[in-house]
Amino acid sequence: MIRRLTRGGAGATTLAAAPLATALLAALLATTALPAGAAPAPPAARPPSQIKVAGGETQPVFSRADAVTQVVSIETTADSDRDGIRDRVQMRIMRPKETDQGLRVPTILEPSPYWAGTHDIPLYPVDIDGAQTRKDRAVQRNLAEIFPGYYDNYFLPRGYAIANLDSIGTGGSTGCPTSGDRDEQAGTKAAVDWLNGRARGWAPDGSPVKAGWSTGKVGMIGQSYNGTLPNMAAASGVEGLEAIVPVAAISSWYDYYRANGGVVAPGGFQGEDLDILAKVVLTRRNPEVCKQVIDDITAVQDRETGDYSRIWAERDYVKDARNVKAAVMVVHGLNDWNVKVKNSVQWWNALKQAGVPRKLWLHQANHATPFRWRLEEWLRQTHHWFDHWLYGIDNGITKEPRVDVERAPGQWETARDWPVPGTRHVPLSLNAGSGAGQPGTLSLRPRPGPVQSLIDAGRTRTAEQLLVNEDQADPGRLAYLTPALKRAVRVNGIPKAAFRASLDGRSPYVTALLVDYGTDTRPTGARSDTGERVCYGQGVPGDDGCTTRQAHRTETAPYKIITRGWLDARNRHGASRSEPIRPGKMYDLRWDFEPTDYVVKPGHRLGVIVLSTDYDYTLRYPAGTELALKPGASKVWLPIAGGGREALG
């Protein structure tokens, strides 16, 4: 079944554009004679010379099939390959043909390091003494899995130019990929500058070219690295970047490859790091010129301590949120363990402090865009977002609820802010169980008890294997559980851990998992095609302007990891400074879990599982480290919405 998605409404208006095309057509008709006795031909359809607005949104009046395309090489302010010549970034543009007759339009831009493909690069071993428990695989990132293209079919007919930019060191650009530093930022900024007449550009034949068709207003959108580059550009404060939609995007590369002083991998890419990713996307001509640049990244990224240092500060955009002039629509999956939710939440919070106009979507998928399963609403909101900020259309998008949260597959709710107003951090103590044993209890009232210990087995057992059989003692973990909840509890925000604990052995890691125990059917984060084809835009040969709708995959299981958090105990006083650990000495350890928004149902139990090594994320030291924890003196602080505190009593 194929559905054609239609939009629009009554009350059409137009935004003025140059009338040159109409004048030329009128002159042509006035001077063309018909043969004697010939019947006049039906009037040809006139190409639009203005943007049409109806129902508060731009209408599809321009032809995707007749679009003009061009390629431009843009000079940046960076020299990342150190050859004494400023880097250039290549941008491919598609725009309504009327822009060649004087129509001026804004641009929706997707920058990416992936347009030219990727390379297979071996990952670092994470069993740090050299022994392998499984074969490290190579990285292959498939662009088609990162973001399906639809902007040309949908937005170009509505009066937008669409552009794809090769980030520095990739595709047709020069320079070297540097995994998020200021040189990459300069490359994306340069595209906005060229669209505003502030940077030089050249056509493939070497002739200078300017964007005379551009209004100078630019929007950016993209997922993963493609969404990170818009964050970078916005953090530069570049004039003309009016709105961005970063999906599952990085705001601080430290929080992609590190956590609280520890080397922590992005989910699915255990063993990847800044230098590996740079090699993966190094697709420019003559890539050998970038060897020293990437070797320098390898030398300073530090896979031993995970300390926050200058290399990470150069890749941290959160501290620059005050520079942002663009409105930001932040989008992230609550089941995304590749780019973890912290990257969007800390960006969201910093933008709020800076007074930046913003929206937030939190959904139930993993590293994905809602385009495929909430198509109609996704198009409505992103369309109105760009219409408002790039065309100045008063369509009410800024007056709608600021936050959309997918509570369960297909079940969305809105809020005016996030965490939802009324959320409070509630302390829950990790107490010993009956007879001072395991499993322990999780309750509002602390109950001091003797020290409890685990022996690290995370090198050979995954977190999922270590959290099962929660009602039994397990030497590889500590478990603390609430009674069955009498009412639902919503955890939304950033949970925090405050442990009194010691380590004796080689592993410096303390890992905590927040777990929903109770058999239920829950989304896994993955999606499946439904078979329903939905058409959203103008098609051309090879691109029908349609997509197959997806639905969330679910599984019935006795538990769900809600969120997790990691600490390298050497960084107990801050991520920037490592200090030795005295074996067996008790320390006060404080750190954050990854943000979440999750409802624990009545009848389920909430659990905190304590580990050392987390097989799929942390470095894996030899087994045998003893982690000891002081019950009663150790707590988690959960951000609980509404009256959920009483359910935890």
Domain ranges of the chain: 57-415, 424-648
Contact 275, 247 (CB under 8 A): no
- Model pLDDT, residue 642: 83
- Give the pLDDT score at 138: 56
What mean pLDDT comes out for the span 187-209?
A: 98
Active site residue 224: yes
- Report residue 160: phi and psi, to 5°: -125, 145
Domain 57-415 is in which class? alpha beta
Is position 367 annotated as part of the catalytic site?
A: yes
- Chain segment 344-360, per-residue pLDDT in tens: 999 999 999 999 999 99
| pLDDT of res. 136 | 45
pLDDT, residue 16, reads 44
Q: Which whole number is the average pLDDT over 135-149?
A: 46
Q: Please write the tens of the pLDDT for every residue from 553-595.
A: 999 999 999 999 999 999 999 999 999 999 999 999 999 999 9
pLDDT band per the 50, 70, 90 thresholds, residue 647: confident
Q: Quick one: residue 77, left, alpha or beta (phi over 0 = left, psi -120 to 50 = alpha)?
A: alpha
Active site (annotated) includes residue 612: no
Residue of 332, 367, 388, 604 marked active site:
367
Question: Cα–Cα–Cα angle for 641, 642, 648, nearest 5°?
Answer: 75
* pLDDT at 338 (0 to 100): 97
CA angle 516, 517, 518 (to 5 degrees): 115
Beta bridge partners of 218: 107, 241
pLDDT score for 147: 33
| % of the chain exceeding 70 in pLDDT | 90
Task: List the catalytic residue out of 336, 387, 516, 568.
Answer: 336
> 224, 236, 252, 344: which one is catalytic?
224
Residue 164 has pLDDT above 70, yes or no: yes
3-state secondary structure 501-515: EEEECCCCEEEEEEE
Average pLDDT, the chain: 91
Q: Which fold has domain 424-648?
A: Jelly Rolls (2.60.120)
At residue 29, the pLDDT reads: 27
Cβ–Cβ under 8 Å, residues 216 and 257: no
- Model confidence pTM above 0.95: no
Q: Which of 40-44, 251-255, 399-403, 631-635 has the least mean pLDDT? A: 40-44
- The count of C-alpha atoms lying within 13 angstroms of the C-alpha of 610, restricted to the half-sphere facing its C-beta, is 35
Residue 596 binned pLDDT confidence (cut-offs 50, 70, 90)? very high
In this prediction, residues 87-98 reach a mean pLDDT of: 97
- Give residue 435's pLDDT: 85
Q: For 296-317, how does the pLDDT look when each residue is reduced to its tens digit (9 = 90+)?
A: 999 999 999 999 999 999 999 9
What value does the mean pLDDT take over residues 147-164? 89
pLDDT(544) > 50: yes
CA separation (Å) from 3 to 8, 375, 434, 531?
Answer: 16, 12, 60, 11
